[in-house]
Homo-oligomer: A and B are copies of this chain.
Amino acid sequence: MTDNRLSSLLDNEQLQPLLPVLYIAWADVELNEPECERISELSSALPEMDDESRATLDTWLKPDKPPTATELSALRRHIREQMKQHKPTLVAMCAAMKADCGEKLTAAVAAYEQEHYISGAGVYAEIFSHVEEPVQQDFAEPSPSFQAEDLQAVLEGDYASEWAAVRRILGAESFAYSFGESSESQRKAVLDWLKHLASEKMGLVMMPESVGGKDDMPAFIHMFAALAMFDLSLVVKFGVQFGLFGGSILFLGSERHHKKYLADIASLKRLGGFAMSESGHGSNVRELETTATYDPESGSFVLNSPTISSRKEWIGNAARDGRTMTVFAQLETGGEQYGVHAFVVDIRDDDGALLDGVRVEDCGHKMGLNGVDNGRLYFDQVKVPRDNLLDRYASVSTDGAYDSPIPGENKRFFTMLGTLVGGRISVAAASVVAARKSLAIAVRYGALRRQFGGGDGDMTILDYTTHQLRLFPALAHNFALHFAVEDLIQQFRHRTPDTSRDIETLAAGIKAMASWHAISATQAARECCGGQGFLSENQISIIRRDVDVFATFEGDNTVLMQLLAKNNLANYAKGFEQDLVLTFVRELTRKAKTELLEGNPLIARKTDDDHLRDADFHRDILSLRAHNLLVSAARRIRKRIDNDVDPFLAFNQIQDHLMSYATAEMERHIAEQFFTIVDAMSEGPARDALEKMRQLSAIDAIYSDSAWFLDNGYFQPEKHRALRKVRIRLLAEIRPDALAYVESFAIPDGCLSAPIAFEDYIGKSPLKQVDATES
């Protein structure tokens, strides 16, 4: 009987179009009486329905006699054979079962389908699940709208040759990516790589011409950043040796120090580090505890760090390789204290043995960057020759007299610190490149990986809106930050005493934004690659671990953002004080502009596409927010101080406001730089492509803070909603070019993936045969 009803059904010509309905219905639930009747009704829409067919159908519509698993399976196989390939709707399935099933049936099935639409998609796909030989379709990515090389040229600008040089060097065999598990093996590999870079004279790029260098700090920063395409432990070790150790001697020392040390630093004949942070003094380095007391008898400074809080912490190159350190300590002479100064201090002899009074501890295993030998340094009355004071900003005579061109300690300290701003800029630049690499891997993976077989199986996971939302705004911010870092490097290159302070402030903000971006973008990339992203060999998780501390070193990001806010508040207050008229006029102009936006409901409600994508709109609205937050912060501080609140506490009470301001100011600034770049490009596909990224970056920043704009009346709700839509539309516009965007980063293949690149087995070749006999 069972066999009967199965073969009767499958052989019945009339009933063919109804088979998918029958299968789907029974496969999903146990049908009750009304549900069976509902399906029975459908059959009346079949052309030429006869009594025999109806009787056959009825045997399949008895709630007390549901089909068996075997019957259902056979029914499905039959449907599959007839239908040949997946159809997304019941109507399409019916039509595929029998070409001329008639309009009446189509309409009836469409109505039935609508009643059940919600659970549809998943169930329909099941018909073609786990077939023995899935058709191996070679779905092609859409053709990109622009040439990746054109965008690459824009990204690299004047530094294309530096990028090319680093790519060439990274192509050497020794740069094969290997990750021994022990810190020792990683440290050894990183030191070997560093030696290779030194042999390529990369350390000389930043050195003065007097020692055979190129005196080109911007080029050096680019090469430093480009190394982030490969490995961040190497980036950090490279930065410690040349940028921090070499840089401190270059900027804080005088000619005789340059001559004595710089060439050896560039060649790695002398490995060293930068010993500033102490266990008790990370962010507040002005309060370092280590002392350097001048002793006229011996003509030397006595270096001392008697407490745990005064020991030097996190010092790169200290635990293993470093011979000499630039040590920061409180200078005392003649019973007076003159604040923090830098000294060149040998800690090991030529054989690597520690010198008297110096104690070193290995910081131990870390979340990442285990290729860097961070150590702790303790000094017990260590004698340092007077000559080793880096004396560009202060000197001590043999008899102990102190002299400095900058009498105020505070100002002197910040002047010295300011010369080292290159470190912060470099960290920002490397953050952008590290995030780039993570995003490139995730985009490539997303464009290969298929799951759930949606859209007739031609959809990759990168076609999912949620996936795009996690990767594309991050990609857009990556481009935006790249140009902001480029601008910063150029400002740094052309700095004057008048602009130095502002550049330091800007560097603080850009470093915080870039390193947080690197963390969040890499995190998104990791999650978007699922378990594959968690595997070390696929590198994203290594970047994720390494980059985490970028939010902490060279200044804790939160502290840096507060610094930015405070400096800008001080400038703003100074503006009022020193040039009241000018400031007043500027305020009026700004106010007028604000009112134009604020008071005009047409703009707050404006929702047309052109307007929402318009750079002027983005710049106006981002400037408005930053300025508004600055003025209101100043007002709130003033109010508290007027009420006798301790200024320190007053600032603390509005820290969240200062953080919002600092973020707003950075987003304004970053959007401005991106605009400048795109604006200067000549018309063409590359410009259009970059303009899309500019739009997404700006719109994402604005949309993410919609609450503020709505709160302040700059948006009406319809504008907020329109922005949401245009943001989603941009994702779809960017999708076809996704691979071209990441190709513009031109990351060498060797840096992009491990020996077993995951596309080999996950992506294009899901059915690649393996020899399962080897073990």
Q: Tell me the nearest residue of chain B to A313, going by C-beta.
A: B531
Interface residue? A590 (CB, 8 A): no
Interface residue? A379 (CB, 8 A): yes
Query: Could you jot down 13 A-B contacts, CB within 8 Å?
Result: A69-B402, A88-B648, A117-B637, A280-B762, A282-B530, A283-B452, A309-B766, A359-B772, A359-B774, A527-B551, A706-B711, A710-B720, A712-B717
Given contacts A181-B182, A527-B552, contact A648 B121 (CB under 8 A): yes
- Residue pair B379, A89 in contact (C-beta under 8 Å): no
- Residue pair A651, B380 in contact (C-beta under 8 Å): no
Residue in contact with A466 in the complex, picked from B120, B406, B533, B558, CB distance below 8 Å = B558
Copies of chain A in the complex: 2
Q: Which A residues between 67 and 83 are near B, CB-CB below 8 angstroms?
A: 67-74, 76-77
- Residue pair A652, B463 in contact (C-beta under 8 Å): yes
Q: Tell me the nearest residue of chain B to A27, going by C-beta.
A: B408
CB distance from A423 to the nearest CB of B (A): 16
Hey, which chain B residues are within 8 Å of A566, CB to CB? Answer: 118, 122
Query: Cα distance A72–B634 when bound, in Å?
Result: 31
Hey, which chain B residues are within 8 Å of A411, CB to CB? Answer: 27-29
Query: Most chain-B CB neighbours within 10 Å: which of A122, A406, A648?
Result: A648
Count residues of chain A with CB under 8 A from any CB of chain B: 170
- Residue pair B728, A717 in contact (C-beta under 8 Å): no
* A 513-528 binary contact with B (CB < 8 Å = 1; else 0): 0000001000100110
Hey, which chain B residues are within 8 Å of A463, CB to CB? Answer: 652
Query: Cα distance A713–B720 when bound, in Å?
Result: 12
Query: Most chain-B CB neighbours within 10 Å: which of A340, A358, A566, A652?
Result: A652
Q: Which A residues between 465 and 503 are near B, CB-CB below 8 angstroms?
A: 465-467, 469-470
Q: Tell me the nearest residue of chain B to A181, going by C-beta.
A: B182
Hey, which chain B residues are within 8 Å of A551, CB to CB? Answer: 527
Hey, which chain B residues are within 8 Å of A642, CB to CB? Answer: 114
Given contacts A89-B647, A287-B129, A552-B531, contact A364 B537 (CB under 8 A): yes
Query: Cα distance A693–B108 when bound, in Å?
Result: 55
Hey, which chain B residues are within 8 Å of A574, CB to CB? Answer: 118
- Residue pair A728, B656 in contact (C-beta under 8 Å): yes
Given contacts A130-B288, A551-B527, contact A279 B711 (CB under 8 A): no
- Residue pair B126, A409 in contact (C-beta under 8 Å): yes
Residue in contact with A118 in the complex, picked from B467, B552, B569, CB distance below 8 Å = B569
Given contacts A464-B655, A656-B465, A762-B280, contact A403 B69 (CB under 8 A): yes
Interface residue? A314 (CB, 8 A): yes
Which 6 pairs show the lowest CB-CB distances between chains A and B?
A: A367-B541, A380-B772, A706-B707, A308-B761, A27-B408, A465-B655
Query: Cα distance A411–B72 when bound, in Å?
Result: 12
Query: Cα distance A541–B765 when bound, in Å?
Result: 37
Interface residue? A444 (CB, 8 A): no
CB distance from A124 to the nearest CB of B (A): 8
Hey, which chain B residues are within 8 Å of A775, CB to CB? Answer: 354, 358-360
Hey, which chain B residues are within 8 Å of A533, CB to CB? Answer: 552
